[in-house]
Amino acid sequence: MAEKDIDLKKVKELIEIMKQNGLEELEIKQGDQKIFLRRSQPQSSAGPIVTAVPMMRQEFVSPQSSQSTDVVGQTTAKHEENLIEIKSPIVGTFYSQPTPDSDPYVEVGSSVEPQTIVCIIEAMKVMNEIKAETSGTIAEVFVTNGQAVEYGQVLFKVRPD
Amino acid sequence: MARYFLRLGRINRNIKSENMFSRILIANRGEIALRIIRACHELDIETVVVYSEADKDAPYLQLADEAVCIGPADCAKSYLNIPRIISAAEITDVEAIHPGYGFLAENIEFAQICQECGITFIGPPVEAMRLLGDKVMARKLAQQAKVPIVPGSDGEIKDISDAIKLANDMGYPVIIKAAAGGGGRGMRIVHNDISLRSAYNAARTEAEIAFGNGSVYLEKYIIEPRHVEIQIMADNKGNALHFYERDCSTQRRHQKMIEESPCPVLDKHTREKLCEAALRVIKEAKYVNAATVEFLLDKNKNFYFIEANTRIQVEHPVTEMVTGYDLIKWQLKVASGMPIKMSQKNIKHNGVAIECRINAEDPENNFTPCPGKITKYIPPGGPGVRVDTHVHQGWTVSPTYDSMIAKVIVHQNTRAAAITTMKRALREFVIEPIKTTIPACLDILSHNLFVKNEIDTGFVERNF
B387-436 per-position pLDDT tens digit = 999 999 999 999 999 899 999 999 999 999 999 999 999 999 999 999 99
Res. B3: pLDDT tops 60: no
Best of B61, B66, B68 to disrupt the A interface by mutation (most A CBs within 10 Å)?
Answer: B68
Give every CB contact of residue B1 below 8 A, 6+ residues apart in sequence: A65, B56, B57, B62
- CA A87 and chain centroid, separation: 16
Least confident of B172-186, B250-264, B314-328: B172-186
- Percentage of the residues of chain B whose pLDDT score is greater than 90: 86
Cβ separation B90–A124 shorter than 8 A = yes
**Residue B261 one-letter amino acid:** S
Residues of chain B contacting A148 with CB distance shorter than 8 Å: 91-92
pLDDT on residue B13: 53
Q: Are B233 and B290 in contact (CB under 8 A)?
A: yes
Q: How confident is the model at residue A50 (pLDDT cuts 50, 70, 90)?
A: very low
3-state SS class at B278 = helix
- Residues 50-109 of chain A with CB under 8 A from chain B are 57-65, 90-93
Res. A57: pLDDT tops 70: no
- Residues 93-122 of chain B with CB under 8 A from chain A are 117
Per DSSP, chain B holds a count of helices (H) and strands (E) of: 15, 22
Q: What distance in Å separates the CA atoms of residue B74 and residue A139, rounded to the nearest whole number? A: 31
Q: Are A21 and A38 in contact (CB under 8 A)?
A: no
Cα–Cα distances (Å) from B7 to A57, B3, B10, B24, B385, in that order, read 8, 10, 10, 19, 27
Q: Are B150 and B220 in contact (CB under 8 A)?
A: yes
Least confident of B201-210, B321-330, B404-413: B201-210
Res. A63: pLDDT tops 60: no
Give every CB contact of residue B368 below 8 A, 6+ residues apart in sequence: B361, B362
DSSP B82: H
ipTM above 0.90, yes or no: no
DSSP B363: G
Q: Are B446 and B395 in contact (CB under 8 A)?
A: no
For residue B329, the distance in angstroms to the closest alpha carbon of chain A comes to 24
Find the mean pLDDT for residues A2-16.
Answer: 70
Least confident of A50-54, B120-124, B203-207, B450-454: A50-54
The total of other beta-carbon atoms located within 10 Å of residue A127's CB is 12
As beta bridge partners, residue B368 has: B362
Residues of chain B contacting A1 with CB distance shorter than 8 Å: 2-3
Residues B232-258: pLDDT tens digits? 999 999 999 999 999 999 999 889 999
Residues B343-381: pLDDT tens digits? 999 999 999 999 999 999 999 999 999 999 999 999 999
Cβ separation B62–A151 shorter than 8 A = no
Give every CB contact of residue B80 below 8 A, 6+ residues apart in sequence: B103, B104
pTM of the model: 0.81
More confident residue, B185 or B268: B268
Least confident of A72-86, A89-103, B159-173: A72-86
More confident residue, B61 or B170: B61
Nearest of B334, B274, B311 to residue B128 by alpha carbon: B311
pLDDT on residue B95: 98
For residue A58, the distance in angstroms to the closest alpha carbon of chain B comes to 8
Res. A122: pLDDT tops 50: yes
Cβ separation A58–B7 shorter than 8 A = yes
Nearest of B183, B132, B136 to residue B156 by alpha carbon: B136
B192 phi and psi angles, rounded to 5 deg: -160, 175
Cβ separation B69–A151 shorter than 8 A = yes
Res. B206: pLDDT tops 80: yes
Q: What distance in Å separates the CA atoms of residue B129 and residue B132, rounded to the nearest whole number? A: 5
Res. B160: pLDDT tops 70: yes
Cβ separation B87–A64 shorter than 8 A = no
Q: What share of chain A is helix, strand, coil (3-state, %, to 5)?
A: 15, 35, 50
Round the average pLDDT of chain B to a whole number and report it.
Answer: 94
Catalytic annotation, residues of B: 311
For residue B28, the distance in angstroms to the closest alpha carbon of chain A comes to 16
Q: How confident is the model at residue A30 (pLDDT cuts 50, 70, 90)?
A: confident
The total of other beta-carbon atoms located within 10 Å of residue B136's CB is 20
Find the mean pLDDT for residues B263-284.
Answer: 98
A16 phi and psi angles, rounded to 5 deg: -60, -45
Cβ separation A91–B88 shorter than 8 A = yes
Give every CB contact of residue B195 below 8 A, 6+ residues apart in sequence: none
B53 touches chain A (CB under 8 A): yes
H or E element, residue B69: strand B66-71
More confident residue, B301 or A81: B301
pLDDT on residue A44: 41
Q: What distance in Å separates the CA atoms of residue B257 and residue B422, rounded to the nearest whole number? A: 14
The total of other beta-carbon atoms located within 10 Å of residue B166's CB is 20
Least confident of A4-8, B224-228, B275-279, B361-365: A4-8
Res. A69: pLDDT tops 80: no
More confident residue, A27 or B83: B83
The burial of A104, by beta-carbon neighbours within 10 Å (0-12 exposed, 13-18 middle, 19 or more buried), is given as middle
For residue A112, the distance in angstroms to the closest alpha carbon of chain B comes to 26
H or E element, residue B357: strand B352-359
3-state SS class at B208 = helix
Q: What distance in Å separates the CA atoms of residue B167 and residue B164, rounded to the nearest whole number? A: 5
Q: What distance in Å separates the CA atoms of residue B174 and residue B459, rounded to the nearest whole number? A: 19
Helix axes B82-91, B108-116, angle to 10 degrees: 30
- CA B317 and chain centroid, separation: 10
- Percentage of the residues of chain A whose pLDDT score is greater than 70: 71
First vs last Cα of chain B: how many Å apart?
43
DSSP-assigned states of every residue in B305-356? EEEEE-S--TTHHHHHHHH---HHHHHHHHHTT------GGG----SEEEEE
As beta bridge partners, residue B255 has: B252
Cα–Cα distances (Å) from B229 to B278, B307, B397, in that order, read 9, 9, 30
Preceding omega of B433 cis (within 30 degrees of 0):
yes
